[in-house]
Amino acid sequence: MDSTKWFVAGTIVVTIALLGVLVAFNKPPAPQPGESLSDDLWQEIVQSPTHERGDKDNEVTIVEFADLQCPACAQSYPALESYLVENPDVHYIWHHFPLSQHQYAQIAAKAAEVSDGKFFEMVGKLFLNQSEWSGGGSITEIFAGYAEELGLDREQFIVDFESATDDDIMANSALGERVGVNATPTFFVNKLHLDGVPQSTGEWQQVVDSVLNKDSSSDTEPTQD
């Protein structure tokens, strides 16, 4: 191999190595459990859920405050949904937290609320098709189409959607403000605020394992006389 070919090959190797270093440095830190809520605030958010799934007596409870028009919420949805499907006994609670800068977040929340018996299925539809409805247009018809795809009566959905109030949604938002939520998605796992947003089922498992280890450590700490 002549010197020119050696130079080109060397340049490629160095470039690949540099790219690897840049990727490593730019990778966001893994989500970690952070500060703990007070017992009173934790009880407030777990005892008055509007929507929940899993086993209430499970050792793990995940609480999410989310905005259906929030791109970051939509991005994080598949990983959490996969984790919950793989771990169906995990207790999961959803609270609405529509942000003021998202024009259609509140009416999307209303669409989920009136999806009789299909709340979480509608949440999935809204996240996975966020780009279709978040620009406006015939939103009622778009949402009614999702309802029909989920096996709901289209006309009844429209009637319920157009007559629904925002009371539960606003109550969720007020609750979020009381526990310090100021962005979406915000997660709490067993009282602990989650710093960061898991983007894979593996990251969710790491978070849960870390929280359970913390819980176990706190249970075994000796008491001071």
pLDDT digits (tens, 9 = 90+) for 99-135: 999 999 999 999 999 999 999 999 999 999 999 999 8
Q: Are strands 61-66 and 91-96 parallel, antiparallel or unpaired?
A: parallel
Domain 31-220 is of which CATH architecture?
3-Layer(aba) Sandwich (3.40)
Spatial distance between the Cα atoms of 139 and 144, rounded to a whole number of angstroms: 8
Question: Could you tell me the pLDDT band of residue 29, with boundaries at 50, 70 and 90?
Answer: low
State the burial class of residue 41 (Cβ atoms within 10 Å of its Cβ: 0-12, 13-18, 19+).
middle
pLDDT beyond 70 at 183: yes
% residues pLDDT > 90 (the chain): 76
| Residues 81/125, Cβ–Cβ less than 8 Å | no
Question: Could you tell me the pLDDT band of residue 137, with boundaries at 50, 70 and 90?
Answer: confident
Q: Whose structure tokens read 């299925």?
A: 121
Question: Could you tell me the pLDDT band of residue 32, with boundaries at 50, 70 and 90?
Answer: confident
What spatial distance separates the first Cα and last Cα of the chain, rounded to whole Å? 77
pTM: 0.83
Positive or negative: CA dihedral 117, 120, 126, 129: negative
Cis check: omega of the bond before 185, within 30 degrees of 0: yes
